[in-house]
Structure formats: C-alpha cells, structure tokens
Amino acid sequence: MATPEDARRANRSLLLGTLHRDGPLSRADLAKRTGLTRATVSAVVRDLIDESVVEELGIRAAGGVGKPATLVGIDADGRHVLCIDVSEPAEFVGAVVNLDGKVVVRRTYDRKGRTGRAAVTLLKRICRELVHDAEGPLLGVGIASPGIVTTEGVIVTAAHLGWTDVPLALELSTELDLPVHVVNDANAAALAELTFGEPTAPHLICVRVDEGVGVGLVLDGRLFTGSSHAAGEIGHVVVDDGGAVCACGKRGCLETEVSEPLLDRRLEEDGADEAAVLRAAGTHLGTALATVVGALDVTEVVLSGPPTVSTETFRTATTEAIASRTLPVIGARLVVRPSTLGFDDVIVGAAARVLDQELGIR
Ligand SMILES: [Zn+2]
C-alpha cells in the first residue's frame, strides 16, 4: 500500500520531471500539467526551494488575462553531483556536474595500471579530493564502471579492473557520508542521452567502446538491465571463429576486434591504413549488433567512446553491417550517430543516475 512518504516522493518526482523537461513554469502551469492541486504544488515547490533544488526565476508578464505569475525552475547550481568514470583504460575521470548535466569541474587521474584494491583506494582518494573542493552542497555521488553492476551498486565483475563482488556504493557512502550510486558505463552513456540528450525515439541502443565493448539499452524510455544486470554485455559474442584468443578463453570475441586500446595499437602500427582499420572494426561491431537491433527493432544506435568511433568511416561500416544483416524495414530507418553529450557522456550519465535515484528526475 502506498504510504504518505511514497506519495510525497511521487509528487516531487512528477514536479521535478516536468520542470526538467518543460521548465521554467508557473505554479499554476505545473498544477495544470501534472494534475496535482495548486496547494500540493505550492507545498512541494516550497520544500524544493528550501533544499536548493528549485528556484524562483522572476515574473512572467500575463498574456492578456490574469495576473503575472512567478516562474519556478530547476536551480541548476543549487546542488552539484560528484561523478567519477572508471571505464577509461589509462585514467579515472572525476567531475562535478550540475543539475542541468553541465560539467562544472573536470579532472583526470592517471590510473597507472592499478587494479583490485589499489584501484578502489585511488577511487576513494579522488572522491575525498572532489568532496573537499566542491563549492556547493552535494546531492550525491555517481560512479560509472565497466562490467556488471547491481542496482545496489555492487560490482559483480569488472574484468579489466580486477573487481569481483565489490560493494562499491556501500564502501564509498560509508567513507563519504553521501548517497552513492553506481552504474555500468554503457548504461550511463544511455542514461545521459535519455536525460540530457536528444533521443528521437523511445528505444535506443548506446554502444560504449572503452577497454571492452558494452551496450546500454533504453526500451520504452526506460533503461533495461535484464534479469542479472548483464543486459547489453555483447563483448564476448564471437564475431570471428578463427580470431584471436580472448581474455575469456574463447576465440574471436567482439572485444578482440573492437576496443579502445586495440584500435589505438592498430592505428599506430607502421603503415597502418586508418580507413581499413576503422572499417574492419565497424563491420565487426555491426555484425554483433545486428541480432540485437533485429530482435528489438531499435533503429537509433548511439556510439560512445574514443574519437575513432565517432568517425564517419567507423559509423558507416557499422551501419552497413547492421543494415545488410537485418530486414530492409530496419535498415531504411537505421541511424548510427555519436552521442549528443560528446566525450563526457559517461560522466554526465553517472550524474543522471543520481538525479534519477535521489530526485526522481528521469
Ligand atoms: Zn571473450
């Protein structure tokens, strides 16, 4: 049964979601759009102003009839979110992000090959530093990690970081005394598109290329994580039976053909043909994606990762590989594009996760 606390949370979420999408608005407009009473809107808005999440933004002149109304909107810098992306091969990226998804502070920290507990220790140090330097009150902390991450923020497995069953959210929230939310990096990139980007359809596939390859799935406007939080883990789908041996023991996994370190290595080889390297990698990616795209009928594919995956050559090869392996009806509508959030999409997505969990903004 719904408790008064559930109702309060639902009302806050409804009002904040409306302001996030359509704000600033007057209290009367908010009541009209949400179906809540004027009294409820006023009470919830008052609380949100006290919490520095919403602010009053001056008066809008009345158009014709009625008296002028005070507009309210999200107070973008009233609260900040501390975000760390640990999915990059060489460095951890730390940032302070505001409630509009804008990166206010961004720092990189050399990972120096750290894995296991040493990587957790570095992460804690970065968090403490950023908390210390934060100028405004913090809403919470968002961590984007590769691998399989539970809703409670336990890293079930992140092979490249040597993490197995690490209760990261619990460890960090105990250390920092702040709410901490952890999200898979491909899911973070998808959430960034959903919350702050310009998705043109309610279904979206976000492909994240870093030390490996992962996919974030948005279905009906919601992140889909599967029955064991492993939806979109396509890195070990075999795309070449005679391919190189993968870290998992199989041959020719997608990750043996497409990853950031691998692409860098191949492009740095003497006499490397850049277009051919990108075409081959894009084709392998498209081959692995074709089944996902075909099964779900999702025609918007967002690519997240190093600049190489945003190139026209890579995107065209990916598009052609998917289109030639799926029904014409899918190929005709297929769009493969870079993230609208640029290279900070994962960081911004970690913030989106905190906004979702702490404020119900989605
Ligand atoms: Zn593998």
Cα(25) to centroid(ligand 1), Å: 51
Query: Residue 287 above 90 pLDDT?
Result: yes
Q: Residue 13 in contact with residue 357, Cβ under 8 Å? A: no
What is the 3-state composition of the chain as percent helix, strand, coil, each rounded to the nearest 5?
45, 25, 30
Query: Residue 64 above 60 pLDDT?
Result: no
Cα(252) to centroid(ligand 1), Å: 7
Cα 78 from Cα 62, distance rounded (Å): 28
Cα(357) to centroid(ligand 1), Å: 33
- Per-residue pLDDT band for 59 (boundaries 50, 70, 90) equals confident
User: In this prediction, what percent of the chain has a pLDDT beyond 70?
Assistant: 98
* Sequence-separated (6 or more) residues with CB below 8 Å from residue 66: none
Cα(214) to centroid(ligand 1), Å: 12
- Average pLDDT of 240-255? 89
Cα 225 from Cα 151, distance rounded (Å): 9
What would the DSSP string read from start to end of 123-180? HHHHHHHHHHH--S-EEEEEEEESSEE-TTS-EEEEGGGTEEEE-HHHHHHHHHSS-E
Predicted local confidence at residue 100, as pLDDT: 95
Q: pLDDT of 139-181, one tens digit each?
A: 999 999 999 999 999 999 998 899 999 999 999 999 999 999 9
* Sequence-separated (6 or more) residues with CB below 8 Å from residue 270: none
Cα(239) to centroid(ligand 1), Å: 10
Cα(270) to centroid(ligand 1), Å: 27
Cα(245) to centroid(ligand 1), Å: 8
Cα(236) to centroid(ligand 1), Å: 4
Exposure letters 145-160 (e unless 16+ CB within 10 A, then b)? bbbbbbeebbbebbbb
* Sequence-separated (6 or more) residues with CB below 8 Å from residue 6: none
Cα(257) to centroid(ligand 1), Å: 10
Cα(258) to centroid(ligand 1), Å: 11
Predicted local confidence at residue 31, as pLDDT: 96
Cα(210) to centroid(ligand 1), Å: 15
Cα(285) to centroid(ligand 1), Å: 14
Cα(262) to centroid(ligand 1), Å: 14
* Residue 350 in tokens: 């970690």
Predicted local confidence at residue 9, as pLDDT: 92
Direct distance between the N- and C-terminal alpha carbons of the chain, in angstroms, rounded to an integer: 24
Exposure letters 54-71 (e unless 16+ CB within 10 A, then b)? bbeeeeeeeeeeeeeeeb
Query: Residue 283 above 70 pLDDT?
Result: yes
Q: How far is CA 337 from CA 139, 253, 286, 315, in A?
A: 32, 24, 13, 7
Q: Which of 242, 266, 231, 257 is nearest to 321 (CA)?
A: 257
Q: pLDDT of 94-140, one tens digit each?
A: 999 999 999 999 999 999 999 999 999 999 999 999 999 888 899 99
- Per-residue pLDDT band for 252 (boundaries 50, 70, 90) equals very high
- Average pLDDT of 51-78? 84
**Lowest mean per-residue pLDDT among 57-66, 166-175, 322-331:** 57-66
Cα(122) to centroid(ligand 1), Å: 28
Predicted local confidence at residue 58, as pLDDT: 79
Predicted local confidence at residue 249, as pLDDT: 86
Mean pLDDT of the chain: 93
- Per-residue pLDDT band for 198 (boundaries 50, 70, 90) equals confident
The amino acid at residue 183 is V
Predicted local confidence at residue 62, as pLDDT: 58
Asked if the peptide bond before residue 24 counts as cis, ω within 30 degrees of 0, the response is yes
User: In this prediction, what percent of the chain has a pLDDT beyond 90?
Assistant: 82
* Sequence-separated (6 or more) residues with CB below 8 Å from residue 257: 239, 240, 243, 280, 281, 284, 285
Cα(133) to centroid(ligand 1), Å: 40
- Per-residue pLDDT band for 87 (boundaries 50, 70, 90) equals very high
Question: What strands lie across the sheet with 80-85, from one edge to the other?
Answer: 103-110, 91-98, 80-85, 138-145, 180-184
The amino acid at residue 209 is V
Q: Residue 73 in contact with residue 23, Cβ under 8 Å? A: yes
Cα(201) to centroid(ligand 1), Å: 32
Cα(280) to centroid(ligand 1), Å: 18
Cα(227) to centroid(ligand 1), Å: 21
Cα(212) to centroid(ligand 1), Å: 10
